[in-house]
Structure 1
Amino acid sequence: MRIVVQAEPFDFGAEANRFAAGHTDMGAIVTFTGIVRDLAQNPLDRMVIEYYPGMTEKALEKIATEAQERWFLGDVLVIHRHGDLRPGDMIMMVATAAPHRVDAFEAAEYLMDFLKSRAPFWKQEFTADGAEWVASKDEDEDALKRW
């Protein structure tokens, strides 16, 4: 398991290749990357993501450990950025390795749903109208109910 919280951009291809390397006993590698998207109504200048060092990593580790306990996984990777991000920037990456694809896909979805709703990150969007904190969305909360 590897959990990383960083300000710097990451190379998705390099991270995916590094994660997959050596997993000859795994039949499935699932990866997902989240990207900062522009706002439809009011163009996004930037998003600022804040977190508490130490606490956030422990929370991400707990979510990843829960995934490993629930599905048969060989490995888990979570990378999440903080600081100033612009539309099009990669914000996070999840990767799971499992002997079979169902475990890898379901665990990745689980991680993404919990990262979206429960990971201790605070996001503020900056537009021409000013700054606004990103609130939890009902659909994100509803996604957790299936787990």
Structure 2
Amino acid sequence: MPTDQTPPRPIDLRLDRFSSQLNVKQEAGKRMVFGAIRKKWLVLQPEEFVRQLLVHFLINDMRYNRNRITVERGVTVNTKARRTDILIFDDDMRPFMLIECKEPRVELDTSVFRQAATYNGPLRVPYLMISNGRQSIIAEIDFAAEDYRFLDAVPEWR
């Protein structure tokens, strides 16, 4: 992929507005959140917080079909087992968008984008997104041209 791209302008999706929609509880000294997709209680780590806010954004604002969203789905990359944070499928069950989540204090740099691109190798998803909850960067991948371009908005679900 080319490296001469103009640095992306991060997008603020204002994810914090979904905080009140999260189902949170205290259990055995740990904060827990009910996963909207996995339908189970999860330890509320900073990265999980970002994942859950993004899921609410995708379902509520973008009108993505919740039945086409997977969270922490396994993928094999160079014979190693990995997990995608959020993987979304289109109506035909083809991978549509891969999202890599980081906790808010993690800077969205080339290494984070490279991680998402590496996970995308076997999946060949047309849209990649990285997010730390405060900022998000989205790219559209053109596999035929071996190129990509950064987007100013989250793509409409198909």
Q: TM bucket by the smaller chain?
A: 0.3 to 0.5
TM value normalised by structure 1: 0.34
More relative contact order in 1 or in 2 (CA 8 Å, sep 6+)? Answer: 1
TM value normalised by structure 2: 0.33
Higher helix fraction (1 or 2): 1
